């Protein structure tokens, strides 16, 4: 069932919410704030109520489902599962990061830098770490890759949930896990911002690619606001004053993909199920 229509521009007492939580490392918070400030100005000029500051809620599921959501970044797997009917696709960022191809991304399957394995199949019986069971990059893409070598049988001796890609990479670097799948933009930022930590792991292989982390708005956001959001995003790409912000966030631009493109996320899930590997285990 679709969420009830809500006119964000006119709703009395409404408090629109904006959040950019997916790559909000402490070192990048000023850049994310500057990006939002640049988006907010033209939105206000078009009569769109826009909050002064970015929200940083602890519960992302509640954020994405909030009927007052004006703009937030989510993950492709929730977009195609639990968030169906709750949000609209605004745009997909393009990133300048190894593993990105236009608006498409993938995961680096990482192991400890000292691990001598060269192929995923050699890691049967190892310990996996993942950020979330509902993550495309941390779970779904890894499941698809493992399904090709698991033979329909459990592959790992243990699967632990860490809560974030950074925590998963840290667990591998510190020897508390043997393997994790890390979103390629997160991996690029960790390599750039925390080179000593990144030096403790290496990329064993890339996963398949899917459309990247989408920017979404509430299902009740009116078409005029949706168009204003897209115009504001495109304007940040050519604004010379934002060149340093784009470099810091690795942003190369924004694409408006047909929502059906995100069906690739579920196609990988269905392929893993067909191979007898429905759950990462």
User: What mean pLDDT is reported for the chain?
Assistant: 95
Say if residues 112 and 201 touch (Cβ distance below 8 Å).
Answer: yes
pLDDT in tens, 116-160: 999 999 999 999 999 999 999 999 999 999 999 999 999 999 999
pLDDT per position as a tens digit, 64-123: 999 999 999 999 999 999 999 999 999 999 999 999 999 999 999 999 999 999 999 999
Is 8 inside any structural domain?
A: no
| Residue 206, both tokens | 């890339």
**For residues 220-225, average pLDDT:** 97
The lowest-confidence range among 7-16, 88-97, 188-197 is 7-16
Question: Are 219 and 238 found together in one domain?
Answer: yes
Packing angle, helices 141-150 and 263-274, rounded to 10: 20
pLDDT band for position 211 (cuts 50, 70, 90): very high
In a domain, 12, yes or no: no
Bridge-partner residues for 72, per DSSP? 19, 216
Q: Whole domain around residue 261: which residue ranges?
A: 17-96+212-265
Amino acid 13: pLDDT: 54
CATH of the domain at 110: 3.40.190.10
Residues 172 and 238 reside in one and the same domain? no
Residue range 36-55: mean pLDDT, rounded: 97
pTM: predicted TM-score of the whole model, two decimal places:
0.93
Which of 160, 168, 147, 138 is closest to 76 using CA atoms?
138
Contacts of 29 (CB under 8 A, 6+ apart): none
Same domain, 181 and 254: no
Q: What is the pLDDT of residue 1?
A: 32
Task: Report the relative pairing of strands 69-73 and 17-19 from DSSP bridges.
Answer: parallel
Q: Which of 193, 90, 175, 97 lies closest to 137, judged by CA?
A: 97
Which secondary-structure segment (H or E) carries 70? strand 69-73
Our count of domains for the chain comes to 2
Render the burial of 158-196: b for 16+ CB within 10 Å, e for the rest.
Answer: ebeebeebbbbbbbbbeeebbbbbbbbbbbbbbbeebee
Q: Are residues 85 and 122 in the same domain?
A: no
Residue 110 has a CB neighbour count (10 Å cut-off) of 28
What's the pLDDT score for residue 14? 67
206 and 216, same domain (yes or no):
no
pLDDT digits (tens, 9 = 90+) for 227-252: 999 999 999 999 999 999 999 999 99
């Amino acid at each position: 069932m679709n969420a009830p229509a809500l006119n964000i521009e006119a709703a009395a007492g409404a408090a629109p919410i904006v959040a950019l939580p997916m790559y909000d490392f402490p070192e990048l918070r000023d850049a994310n704030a500057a990006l939002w400030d640049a988006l907010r100005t033209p939105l206000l000029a078009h009569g769109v109520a826009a909050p002064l500051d970015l929200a940083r809620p602890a519960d992302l599921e509640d954020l994405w489902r909030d009927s007052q959501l004006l703009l937030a970044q989510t993950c492709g797997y929730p977009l195609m599962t639990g968030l169906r009917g709750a949000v609209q696709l605004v745009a997909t960022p393009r990133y300048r990061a190894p593993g990105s191809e236009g608006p498409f991304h993938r995961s680096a399957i990482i192991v400890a830098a000292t691990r001598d394995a060269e192929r995923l199949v050699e890691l049967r019986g190892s310990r996996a770490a993942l950020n979330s069971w509902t993550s495309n990059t941390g779970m779904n893409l890894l499941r698809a890759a493992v399904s090709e070598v698991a033979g329909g049988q459990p592959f790992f001796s243990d699967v632990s949930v860490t809560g974030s890609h950074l925590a998963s990479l840290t667990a591998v670097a510190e020897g508390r896990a043997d393997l994790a799948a890390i979103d390629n933009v997160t991996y690029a930022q960790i390599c750039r911002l925390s080179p000593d930590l990144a030096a403790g792991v290496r990329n064993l292989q890339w996963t398949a690619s899917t459309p990247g982390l989408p920017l979404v708005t509430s299902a009740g956001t009116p078409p005029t606001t949706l168009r204003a959001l897209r115009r504001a995003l495109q304007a940040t790409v050519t604004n010379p004053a934002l060149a340093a912000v784009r470099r810091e966030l690795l942003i190369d631009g924004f694409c408006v993909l047909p929502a059906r493109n995100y069906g690739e996320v579920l196609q990988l899930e269905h392929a893993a199920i067909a191979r007898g590997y429905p759950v990462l285990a």
